[in-house]
Chains A and B, each alone.
Chain A
Amino acid sequence: MKINAEKMHFKVLNQQVRQCEEPNIVIDNCCGQRYIAAGLSGREIEIYGTPGNALGAYLDGCEIYVHGNAQDAAGDTMNDGCICIDGMAGDAAGYAMRGGSMYIRGNAGYRAGIHMKAYQEKQPLLVIGGAAGSFLGEYQAGGTIIVLGLGCKGVPVGNFCGMGMHGGRIFLRTEELPPDLSQRLVCAPATPEEMDSIRPALERFCAFFRQDEKELFQKPFYCIVPNSRNPYRQLYTGN
């Protein structure tokens, strides 16, 4: 089913999406409608234009492909499914993700993947093709964030990367590390095992966005994890 979203209010659009019985939905002329596919499962949704804030919030198993840029809070607290953005994403992409995967071809804004968490089979994944803004993975508790920094010079993340992180992993494809990495994080070149663990995600990224896979491996990957020996040491007082 095809929905022409031109000048359509978000309530009407979301109602049509929810009531649609066909599994495949194409949304055309999208311009700022919020909450598209929020909490939804079992559909394949293709969006042309600029979907509004909270695209796929609480998503529970859809495949969403955006031909364009996404605004703020795409994939907020998503639980399952896949959001693919053939463009850039606004602030707080993948905020508090708890499952599923999200692929962004271009840059992501501030606070991407903050509060991301994982539990048993629920292992969220966020792949950012370009650069990420400040506070990437702040308070991250689980899951995997990968920043490829394609087309970007220097460090592909802003300030305070992984601040307060206490679980999960952040991979950065870069020659230069962020100068302000917290002492409570451990950053090292990714091991072959770690690289194997993210290879399917990288392959999928390349397939989605027609990216040359060889180019990805022309720069080193680093893996950042929390220093779990004593994460709270001297946070407030010597202990």
Chain B
Amino acid sequence: MLREGQIRIPSGCAISGIFSRSGKPVCGDRIVQSIAVMHDRSNGLGGGFAGYGIYPEYKDCYAFHVFYDDVEARQRGEQFLERHFDIVNLSRIPTRKVPSISNEPLIWRYFVNPLPHKLADSQLDEREYVARCVIRVNSTIEGACIFSSGKNMGVFKAVGYPEDVGEFYRLEEYSGYCWTAHGRYPTNTPGWWGGAHPFAMLDYSVVHNGEISSYDANRRYVEMFGYRCNLLTDTEVIAYIFDYLLRRQGLTLEEAAHVVAAPFWDTIARQPEEKKKELTYLRKAFSSLLITGPFSILLGFEGGMMALNDRLKLRSMVAAEKGDLFYVASEECAIRAIEPELDRVWSPRGGEPVIVRLNQNNREEVQP
């Protein structure tokens, strides 16, 4: 089969997110009901979800979700994992048969900790060690793809409509404080399991509606820092950009948003002096990470979620609140379908991030 990058299919997407500020768990079936309303925005070639706070019993372990093409790929993958990690638990991810979802790869889940001596030998901090292992598996082990690698979170994705993907992965059996969802309508490239959203690195996950015209410039830049864009689809690079800016460069979410959705120079020129300095610095220091083209994205991370539009707002996004719950979606109907009465509904402006976090007293140690 020709995969993404080898073939171009010229042909919209849907995103939805729920965030419980109080930390009170939300059942996975809620996000499935929400994204299902926007069925006609996707075409059955990809659906996926990311849930946070879903593995409390293993919250200190990295949860790896892995696709294997076949048994041999699994053996190669597990050999690597055993050499680098202490595997606390492993199992197939429970799925159920859904008529519309077929040709599934082998889908496994591992709860792991880095082997202490390996980690010490590497002279890397723990998260960098894990990230490098993930990149190595995905770029050197044929037929293996670690598509989720954070703590107490997980990505579930497949080729199919999102509501079918939710049923396939039995999402009603999970609950967490944050959910993001994606319905895919691939423009330019075919749909395959690895190419479905969300794309994740450590606890960062991205769902995206849009098309990045700066993909190759962004890819060349992040690949200088060891990332490998193996999935040859534009959204993958956004996940690595945020991992690079937030984890490795230590930028705040607002700063990272102003890098990827930088205001125009003439908009910057009208800002107060301090703000002008800051925005100018960010645009100049990370000019290769400006993302051009239309996008609306949801970035999930440990303890929070950020919604962001491109600076021209070329894709739709509506946000809403009801008590401690925050909702965001491509269309308001996807929010109303699960929460008919809302306290507040608004459309975030282009390039202005909406950031929600767990309330202070419910926040566990959020890593820097």
Q: Which A residues lie at the B interface, using CB under 8 A?
A: 10, 31-32, 34, 49-50, 52-53, 69, 71-72, 88, 90-91, 107, 109-110, 133-135, 158-159, 179-180
B24 at the interface (CB under 8 A from A): no
Tell whether, in the assembled complex, residue A91 and residue B316 are in contact, meaning their CB atoms are under 8 Å apart: yes
Tell whether, in the assembled complex, residue A52 and residue B313 are in contact, meaning their CB atoms are under 8 Å apart: no
B38 at the interface (CB under 8 A from A): yes
Q: Do A34 and B40 contact each other (CB < 8 Å), given the known contacts A71-B316, A91-B316, A134-B313?
A: yes
B350 contact from A32, A107, A134, A180, Cβ within 8 A? A134
Tell whether, in the assembled complex, residue B40 and residue A109 are in contact, meaning their CB atoms are under 8 Å apart: no
How many residues of chain B are within 8 Å of chain A by beta carbon?
Answer: 21
Q: A109-B316, A110-B313 are in contact. List 7 more A-B contacts (CB 8 A).
A: A32-B37, A71-B333, A91-B313, A91-B347, A133-B347, A133-B349, A180-B266
When distances are taken between beta carbons in the complex, the residues of chain A under 8 Å from B347 are: 88, 90-91, 107, 109, 133
Tell whether, in the assembled complex, residue B334 and residue A32 are in contact, meaning their CB atoms are under 8 Å apart: yes
Highest count of chain A CB atoms <10 Å: which of B38, B266, B312: B312
Tell whether, in the assembled complex, residue A180 and residue B336 are in contact, meaning their CB atoms are under 8 Å apart: no
Tell whether, in the assembled complex, residue B345 and residue A53 are in contact, meaning their CB atoms are under 8 Å apart: no
CB contact list, B314-368 vs A, under 8 A: 316, 318, 331-334, 336-337, 345-347, 349-350
Tell whether, in the assembled complex, residue B316 and residue A31 are in contact, meaning their CB atoms are under 8 Å apart: no
**A157–B88 alpha-carbon span in the complex (Å):** 56
Shortest Cβ distance from residue B260 to the other chain A in the assembled complex, whole angstroms? 18
CB nearest to B332 among chain A residues: A50
A110 contact from B40, B318, B333, B350, Cβ within 8 A? B350
CB nearest to B266 among chain A residues: A180
Tell whether, in the assembled complex, residue A53 and residue B331 are in contact, meaning their CB atoms are under 8 Å apart: yes
B267 at the interface (CB under 8 A from A): yes
A50 contact from B40, B267, B336, B349, Cβ within 8 A? B336
**A159–B331 alpha-carbon span in the complex (Å):** 23
Tell whether, in the assembled complex, residue B40 and residue A72 are in contact, meaning their CB atoms are under 8 Å apart: no
Tell whether, in the assembled complex, residue B333 and residue A52 are in contact, meaning their CB atoms are under 8 Å apart: yes
**A91–B330 alpha-carbon span in the complex (Å):** 11
**A71–B331 alpha-carbon span in the complex (Å):** 7
When distances are taken between beta carbons in the complex, the residues of chain A under 8 Å from B97 are: none
**A75–B333 alpha-carbon span in the complex (Å):** 18
CB contact list, B290-307 vs A, under 8 A: none
**A49–B331 alpha-carbon span in the complex (Å):** 13
**A65–B40 alpha-carbon span in the complex (Å):** 25
